[in-house]
Structure 1
Amino acid sequence: MANSGDSVLEMYLYETNTLLEQLDNIMLAAEQADTLSQDDVNEIFRIMHTLKGSAAMMEYEPLMTIAHRIEDLFYLIRENTMDIVPEQDRPKLFDLLFRSIDYFRDEIGKIEKGEPLSTNIDRFVETINMFIDKIKNDGQVAGSSGEAPSADQAAAQGCRTATVENAPAGYPFALRVFLDEGCGMENLRAFMIVSDVRDSGTQFLYQPEDLESNTARSPEIAENGFTMYFAAENERKAAIPLISDLGFVKTYQEIDAAPAPEAQRDEKQEPAPEATGQTEPQKAAPAAGAEATSGKGSGHQIKQSLISVNLSKLDQLMAVVGEIVITETMVTASPDLRGIEDAKLDNFYKSARQLRKLTDELQDISMSLRMVPVSGTFQKMRRIVRDMGQKLGRKAQLSIIGEDTEIDKTIVDAISDPIMHIVRNSMDHGIEPDEQMRIDAGKNPVGEITLSAQNTGSEVIIKIEDDGMGVDCDAVLRKALRQGLASPDVEYNQREIMNFLMMPGFSTNQEVTEFSGRGVGMDVVKKNVETVGGVVTMTSEKGKGSCTTLKIPLTTAIMDGMEVRVGESIFTIPIQNIRQSFKVTEKDIIHDAMQGEIINKMEEFYPVVRLYNVYGIEPQSTSINDGILVWVESSESSCCLFVDELLGKQQVVIKPLPSYLNNFKIKDAGIAGCTILGDGNISLILDVTNLMDFISGSAGY
């Protein structure tokens, strides 16, 4: 049951978060149009109705109360159209809805963290009630209570008594329960009802019997309800209050095995509409999946084309696929095959090629399961721009390009906060504080922030651009000099000055505001992006605007790498960090005053780093003529790594290092993980960003 409870909670959280995103998008579009269409009103009413029922099922009373009152508000609007809300009050309505969304998100966040819900909602409920009263009075709604019918009222109005011929032996008193239309997760809600009645100590039977485990029952229950069978009438009567108190119950129907004369007279006078066309309740429930054999069942199966899967299961799948890829390579490159004539291995090589094709397809499919569009993250930024625009008194709009671009789910989660911070920076630092400044500069009075994503094949490039004031490089340099980050004797170019913005504790704000000035900024963005193997670059033109670019790998599970050999050791360098590889001679190397080595490439000078010195490896040769240089870069830093030999490009499965190695700060030394080669040997994967930081902080490099 513990696993069942966790499953129900996960479904509740997933459903609620999805509904809140829908609600957010509806309200953002409505605010721009300055009104809600009738379809929007109906959709909001449906969403609030579902949120209320879900919260009631999970026994989250504060959430249920807020959702119920917002539902009452939109019941009133739905019955009287948006004309009931005066134009001057519509911004208040929008603010009330946005506040409700924020309230639900905050409380859902507490549930996810295992924290208790806030119970102090009286003031919020009072605010909603005051708005309901205001529009009722202003709109002069006659005879309207402004409230949707409660579950108790609906049950009382909808209760009918019918008959049943073949009830289970010893359980002649049946109760058919119907749920609210569109409440969602009908099979689990029905099972919650069954559990509540069972907890009261009553013994009974119910159909369908697989409510808890078979989600395919939901359409059937939504249409026909479900049935509970009791041994005594008083037990059925005792169960009715427990059922009718639940917010997602629409009505119930009492069904007797032997109808009393009075019941027959009542039925003649007023037939039960619910009984018409219903499946006979006394019949046993069909086996799981039996619906698919009927025309009606087939229709329901089409709706089940999408399922949600726990991310940990996808992680396990990727781990198994990775092992298959490694094992396939080990089999086809087995040392036991050496010395055997190729002619004798024709069948083996043919099967090996087919196996490689299948493993590649399996790898691609398993990776695609983890890929999700960035649209969810991008759309959330609309709310950030809207809220900050109101608080700062600035008008700005967000344009989104390439929102269907897909990235690994874990990477999307990791870059959500960095993107949000950059968008906030664009609003706080970029967009001019008043419209007149933009007009004087020949710009549109409404600022524009553009959020774009582009898939280049090996990585995704995300850009956050604004047409605001741009960065004052002189001010940044002065601040860097005051903080001791820059040297007064060095002349810095614009790229180097922009890099100061990504240093820890750096902020150009003179005072702390709600959004900035605390010294926690682009350095955190840079760190989070680099954690998933990405890089951050910033460009700006004063008076024209700024652009922050994130280069993100598609996935952190499998990558393309270049295998290189240094002595007897093999390293893997991510392809995305490699610009070029080339041979040089001693005469191409420049020696500086500190005995360091530098090479001129494309009119720029880059340090030469001998990997065998960095990691204390016995090299095959120390002569620059015998090895090869690999030109690597990360963010705005570049260097040339001297290695003995290039072994070739290979797609590798990234294996994390054992946790105890963290005590030796091996990641800080530029080692991101490892991979298993076809011959069973281990190759260490280089983290170019950390490697450059390690080199720059080590004496002699």
Structure 2
Amino acid sequence: MGSGNDSILDMYLYETNTLLEQLDGILLTAEEADTFSEDSVNEIFRIMHTIKGSSAMMEFSSLMTVAHRIEDMFFIVREKGMDVVPEATRPDLFDMLFQAVDFFRGEIEKVENDEPLSQSIDHIVAKINSLIDKIQGNPAAPAPGEEASAGSAPAPAAEAPAAEAVNPDYLFGIHVFFDEGSGMENLRAFMLTNGVKDYCGDFITFPANVETDPSTSDLIADQGFLLWFRTADDRQAALPAVKGGASVREYQAVDAAKPAPSAPAPAEEPKADAAAPKADVKADASPAPKPAAGQQHAKESLISVNLAKLDQLMAVVSEIVITESMVTSSPDLKGLRLDNFTKSARDLRKLTDDLQDVSMSLRMVPVSGTFQKMNRIVRDMSKKLGKKAKLTLIGEDTEVDKTIVDAISDPIMHIVRNSMDHGLEEHEADRIAAGKDPVGEVILSARHTGSEVIIEIKDDGQGVDTQAVLNKAIRQGLAAPDHDYSQKEILNFLMMPGFSTNTEVTEYSGRGVGMDVVKKNVADVGGTVTISSEWGQGMTTTLKIPLTMAIMDGMEVAVGSSIFTIPINTIQSSLKVTAQDVIHDPAQGEMVKIRDNFYPIIRAKELFCMEQGCDNIEDGILMWVEAGEHSYCLFVDELMGEQQIVVKPMPNYINNFGVKNYGISGCSILGDGSISIILDVMNVYAAAHSTY
């Protein structure tokens, strides 16, 4: 079945991955508290139940078996409370569950890559079984799996499931019959129970173990399927799911207190044995029907959309922005005074702005998903390396474009690993001697600054030995022996390709393993990486990433007949100056004083070796811009005005000439069809001050 319908498989993968992330979070919280709360137990039971059922439907038996055994274990914990798990067994329980999550993740990855699933799951099942034995401590209490299997034998053909409920607390039933010859009745019954859960979470079924026991198919085909509820209201709430159930031929209400009404199957036959199996309680986390109805609403208000469709939407919106700009600034309108047209154009601009904001917001997701995953890395590495450490998360609600979140997940993981492995001191005694908390701390923070997101990964470890880094850079021929490097320049060596190799990790704090890859991944989404460190105090890695890469507000400026766009968020102000205001500094070149500070002047005409353009400072205008720690004045001919632009990447054959190093980050199509070059303020400064 797995190879059949792609959309079902996509849904299965999406749902299972989401559940595993949820599970990871629950386990980390529980391990810290050294116990599971009642809600957590219910939640884990529900997650395992869902994974078991959907894996059975997809015929992924390894996933189904492991999930089923964990579900059995949590059934016991749910019935008897967390006290049933001895204190000494709890670390084993947490380890086993983390191992199970890793197992599920590995299997899901195999499904995604079209590889065969694991055949040998004995080791993990054996672990679960031994824990169940420890928890039960009383072999007489059967696990729900065993209870259920007792009911899997079909009743004699003449015997209908009696109107006597299998549990005195559940007396209000619905008797369901599926279409004759529909086949796989057990899975149809399972799908029906899943549908009913959306309306009422608290009910039991007969037969109980339909999703794992195909032999129940015959029983259901012959005698129907029963759902039992606590109250008539619960039953009433669940009726829409039964009415709309796939392949349901007929159904009717039955009350255990009264004799069953005449049914399509013969009723009033000898009643089912009093020792009928207790049905496995198919309850969601919320037993009360009202919250379940609330959940139903929440479920309906969310929708999963393929990212490719959102990309398509973004592309169309981009084209609308360009076309709107072409219409309103058409050369045919020059010199005409069209009041109605101008008003309509203004309205159109407002609507395109709104459309753009909405389409952008559809792609925005919080970084919390990525951040939460780091909890697991810190936990696992703490155990492996024997270091005590905690992870502090700040600003995890910060939202970023989905493609950017995907791109930065690996770099963040890499830096957190580095912090754990090489940043934090090897021995607790070293931290105590340095006057630090014996428990090391890694802080992961995210915040918005208008147009970009700043993510910082900070540790309070030993920091970077800059002298050792410089010596190594000199040995590798990356640095000149006689040059005096600043600390910042030395730290930048860590991000040079091939700077660190694993064999030299022991030579100094081992920082920088693979940092060149981190830098490349972040640069791919238009971001930058900077490192700062103080010896003995730790290290901070800062990622600056644009919120989105599609549409932005820019200021159009002209140099000769060429037009450039400067991102609005980098502009402080524009100013006219005279030749007397310009100071000639032997080291920095031309400077200008603004509000008691001196800023270098960079002439766009000279930087880009252009033939046309103003040379006299009085004839042009200075754009005071700021990016990162650089602030300077860009000299251009004139301001053309603000424009909303669609960012288009430069073609590869132009990128091959290294135009990015000269501060050209992309281009845009203007209203009249001409092309404007988008300037990257940061790289313009670097290009103007580079030695080559």
Aligned partners of 2:419, 2:181: CA distance in 1, in Å?
A: 68
Q: Within 5 A, what are the aligned runs for 1:265-414? A: 265-266=268-269, 303-340=299-336, 342=337, 345-414=338-407
Distance 1:98 1:662, change over 3 A: same
The question of whether the paired residues in 2 share the 8 Å contact of 1:599 and 1:606 is answered with yes
List aligned pairs for 1:603-642, cutoff 5 A: 611-612=604-605, 617-622=610-615, 626-628=619-621, 642=635
Distance 1:644 1:637 in 2: 22
1:319-366 per-position Cα deviation (integer Å, ceiling 9, x unaligned): 1211222222222211111111x3xx2222222222222221111111
Tell me, in whole angstroms, the C-alpha distance in 1 between the residues paired with 2:178 and 2:462. 77
Per the normalisation by structure 1, the TM-score is 0.75
- Structure 2 Cα separation of the partners of residues 87 and 172 of structure 1: 50
Which residue matches 1:179?
190
User: Partners in 1 of 2:295 and 2:91 — Cα distance?
Assistant: 43
Does the aligned pair in 1 maintain the 2:423–2:462 contact within 8 Å? Answer: yes
Once residues 186 and 651 of structure 1 are traced to their aligned partners in structure 2, the CA distance between those partners, rounded to angstroms, is 48
Distance 2:626 2:604 in 1: 15
| Contact kept in structure 2, 1:174 and 1:229, CA below 8 Å | no
SS in structure 2 of the partner of residue 674 of structure 1? strand
Structure 1: segments with no counterpart, 5+ residues: 188-192, 198-217, 231-254, 274-295
* 1:58 and 2:69 aligned: no
Q: Could you tell me whether the CA contact under 8 Å between 1:634 and 1:689 is conserved in 2? A: yes
Which stretch shifts more, 646-655 or 151-160? 151-160
1:228 aligns with 2:277: no
Q: Which residue of 2 aligns with 1:40?
A: 40
Higher mean displacement: 57-66 or 564-573: 564-573
How much has 1:648 moved relative to structure 2?
3.4
C-alpha contact 1:50 1:184 (8 A) present in aligned 2 = no
Q: CA deviation at 1:391?
A: 0.8
Match of 2:408 in 1: 415
Aligned partner of 1:566 in structure 2 is 559
Partner of 2:87: 87
Deviation at 1:122, TM superposition (A): 3.1
Amino acid of the residue matched to residue 332 of structure 2?
Answer: D
- For the residue of structure 2 that corresponds to 1:179, the secondary structure is helix
| CA contact 2:560–2:612 (8 Å) conserved in 1 | yes
CA apart distance, 1:605: 9.8
1:488 is displaced (CA, Å) by 2.2
Question: Per-residue deviation at 1:178?
Answer: 2.9
Output the CA distance in 1 between the equivalents of 2:91 and 2:394.
Answer: 29
Q: Distance in 1 between matches of 2:404 and 2:627?
A: 18
Provide the rounded CA distance (Å) in 2 between the counterparts of 1:152 and 1:585.
Answer: 97
Distance between the aligned counterparts of 1:446 and 1:687, measured in 2? 42
* Equivalent position amino acid for 2:92 in 1: K
- 1:373–1:518 distance in 2 versus 1, CA, 3 Å: closer
Change over 3 Å in CA distance of 1:119–1:623 after alignment to 2: farther
CA contact (8 A) 1:577 1:632 kept: yes
State the 1:562 CA deviation. Answer: 3.0
CA distance in 2, matches of 1:665, 1:695: 15
Alignment check: 8 A CA contact 1:537 1:636 kept? no
Q: Which residue of 2 aligns with 1:655?
A: 648
DSSP-derived class of the 1:226 partner: coil
DSSP 3-state at the match of 2:7: helix
Aligned to 1:111: 111
Q: CA deviation at 1:128?
A: 2.8
SS at match of 2:500: coil
Q: Is the 1:470–1:540 contact (alpha carbons within 8 Å) kept by the matching residues of 2?
A: yes
| RMSD over aligned Cα atoms | 4.5
Closer, same or farther: CA 144–605 of 1 in aligned 2, 3 Å: same
SS of equivalent residue, structure 2 residue 127: helix
Alpha-carbon shift at residue 98 of structure 1 (Å):
0.7
Equivalent residue pairs, number: 617
Scaled by the length of structure 2, the TM-score of the pair is 0.76
CA-CA distance at 1:101 after TM superposition:
0.9
Aligned AA for 1:266? E
More displaced stretch, 122-131 vs 22-31: 122-131
What does residue range 119-518 of structure 1 map to in structure 2 within 5 Å?
119-136=119-136, 139-145=137-143, 147=145, 149=147, 153=151, 156=154, 160=161, 177-179=188-190, 183=194, 226=245, 228=247, 259=264, 263-266=266-269, 303-340=299-336, 342=337, 345-507=338-500, 511=504
Higher alpha-carbon deviation: 297-306 or 56-65: 297-306
Matching residue of 1:293 = none
Query: Equivalent residue of 1:178, what SS?
Result: helix
Question: Following TM superposition, by how much is the alpha carbon of 1:633 offset from its aligned partner in structure 2, in angstroms?
Answer: 6.7
SS at 1:501 equivalent: helix
CA contact (8 A) 1:566 1:645 kept: yes
Contact 2:196–2:242 (Cα < 8 Å) also in 1:
no
Q: Aligned-pair distance for 1:19?
A: 0.5
Per-residue CA deviations over 1:525-582 (Å, capped at 9, x if unaligned) read 2222222222222222222222222222111111233323233222223345556766
Could you say which residue in structure 1 is the equivalent of 2:31?
31
Paired with 2:179 and 2:320, the residues of 1 have a C-alpha distance of 55
SS at 2:120 equivalent: coil
Query: Are 2:458 and 2:538, in contact at CA under 8 Å, matched by a contact in 1?
Result: yes
| Counterparts of 1:385 and 1:43, CA distance in 2 | 24
Task: Compute the displacement of 1:105 (Å).
Answer: 1.6
Distance 1:61 1:268, change over 3 A: closer
Aligned-partner SS, 2:644: strand
Q: What is the identity, as a one-letter code, of the residue corresponding to 1:677?
A: L
Cα shift readout 1:142-161 (whole Å, capped 9, x = no counterpart)? 33246365589468589738
Contact residue 465 and residue 545 of structure 1 kept, 8 A: yes
- Give ranges in structure 2 of 5+ residues lacking alignment: 164-173, 199-210, 216-236, 250-259, 277-291
**Is the CA contact 2:528–2:543 (under 8 Å) kept in the aligned structure 1?**
yes
Q: Secondary structure at the match of 2:269?
A: helix
Indicate if the aligned counterparts of 1:373 and 1:407 stay in contact, CA closer than 8 A: yes
1 CA distance for matches of 2:663 and 2:190?
Answer: 58
Q: Residue 422 of structure 1: SS of its match in structure 2?
A: helix
Q: Secondary structure at the match of 2:42?
A: helix
Larger CA deviation: 99-108 vs 566-575:
566-575
The change in CA–CA distance for 1:224 and 1:25 in structure 2 (over 3 A counts) is farther
What is the Cα deviation at residue 618 of structure 1?
A: 3.1
